[in-house]
Amino acid sequence: MTDIQELLLSRIRDVPDHPKPGVVFKDITPLLADPAAFAALTEALAEISLRHGATRVVGLEARGFILAAPVAIRAGLGFVPVRKAGKLPGATLRQAYDLEYGTAEIEVHAEDLTPEDRVMVIDDVLATGGTAAASLELVRRAGAQVAGVAVLMELGFLDGRAKLTQELGGAPLEALLTV
Ligand SMILES: O=P(O)(O)OC[C@H]1O[C@H](OP(=O)(O)OP(=O)(O)O)[C@H](O)[C@@H]1O
Ligand SMILES: Nc1ncnc2[nH]cnc12
């Protein structure tokens, strides 16, 4: 494990049985409160985005926003929010998906993603892969290209990676940490 991975891992708190029994919640708030760790995370995700030729960064509400917005600025790329359904005011594309602990719907402004865009989807945790898969589906339906998915932490035992294989279409899934 690299020094940066050790730093990031040391700042993620395991919270058993949240938000429901049986789930070990990966809480990133200690990492966000540590400026060196947050900066290292931003730098790593920006490097991944640029290395894969992204022109836009998509952040997934809510925790994905916190990571993707500084990454977009650091990498000099536009930021596009994917929001929980009902929040965006303009014409949207909408996608339903399953979570480790429920179901939800997400939306993106249709005009924010064009066929010229190469999109890096950024989030904190990849669990079942439902959120990332739905986001990639939105990117594809908008006609944009997929540069990849980059997450802070992949929960390997839930095998979200397998769920994304088809949606990624050969694009990379990069996780800074896998547990
Ligand atoms: O791989 P999956 O099983 O889809 O789970 C991962 C998603 O779950 C969490 O978000 P959540 O929907 O809990 O929302 P939040 O960011 O608003 O806390 C997390 O931030 C990811 O977006
Ligand atoms: N175990 C978990 N910890 C944090 N975020 C999550 N999103 C889905 N599963 C999660």
Domains and their CATH numbers in the chain: 1-176 (3.40.50.2020)
* Distance, CA of 17 to CA of 170 (rounded, Å): 35
Q: Which atom in ligand 2 lies closest to the alpha carbon of residue 158?
A: 9
At 42-98, the pLDDT tens digits run 999 999 999 999 999 999 999 999 999 999 999 999 999 999 999 999 999 999 998
Q: Report the alpha-carbon distance of residue 7 to residue 75 in Å, rounded.
A: 22
100 pLDDT tier (thresholds 50, 70, 90): low
Query: Length of the chain, please?
Result: 179
158 secondary structure, DSSP code: G
**Residue indicated by tokens 């058993």:** 16
What average pLDDT score do residues 24-46 get?
98
> How far away, in angstroms, is 151 Cα from ligand 1 center?
11
Amino acid 102: pLDDT: 79
Does any ligand 1 atom lie closer than 6 A to the CB of residue 99? yes
Query: Is the ipTM beyond the 0.85 threshold?
Result: yes
Active site residues: 63, 100
Q: Is pTM, for the whole model, over 0.95?
A: yes
Q: How far is the CA of 79 from the centre of ligand 2 (A)?
A: 23
For 107-155, the pLDDT digits (tens) are: 999 999 999 999 999 999 999 999 999 999 999 999 999 999 999 999 9
